[in-house]
Amino acid sequence: MKREGINPVGSAFMAADGTSIFDKFGYSAAVRAGDFVYAAGQIGLNPDGSQPEQDDMQMVNAFDRLKIVLEAAGSSLDEAVELVSYHVHMQRHLQKFVEIKGRYLRAPFPAWTALEVAGLARPGLVIEIKAIAYSPRSNSH
């Protein structure tokens, strides 16, 4: 089975030095393998790369970035079959996360695993979300 790396372009995916975060850190935003798209974890940065202080804005941004990545791979959040969320201080914001997740996902809902972690890539980040989406190649761009 052939794998295809997918990296969306745009300021949201650029490092401070102007290079692609995918090139800088050596990974793909998503990988299409057969009829599945595996999206890497997305954090809650603003489109300009700044980091919001509010937990809920980080959650919205992480879902927006995940949506962009899946769409760049020819899929969508509607096709998600698995969602994994990584939370710093999960009990502080889990209810808010569930509310925001409901804005992006609808039935039939993907399988979901929520994990509490000590920290993420940058100090102050509270959320990272990754997904697997079923997206038959005949539906891809």
So where are the chain's domains? 3-139
The dotted CATH code for 3-139 is 3.30.1330.40
Q: What is the mean pLDDT of residues 23-38?
A: 95
- Tokens in use for 118? 């000590």
CA distance 36 to 97: 25
DSSP, res 50? -
Count other Cβ atoms within 10 Å, centred on residue 108.
7
Q: What residues contact 51, with CB distance under 8 A and at least 6 apart?
A: 44, 45, 58, 122, 124, 125
pLDDT, tens digit, 9 for 90 and up, residues 55-96: 999 999 999 999 999 999 999 999 999 999 999 999 999 999
Q: What is the reported pTM? A: 0.93
The dihedral of CA 104, 122, 84, 82: what is its sign?
positive
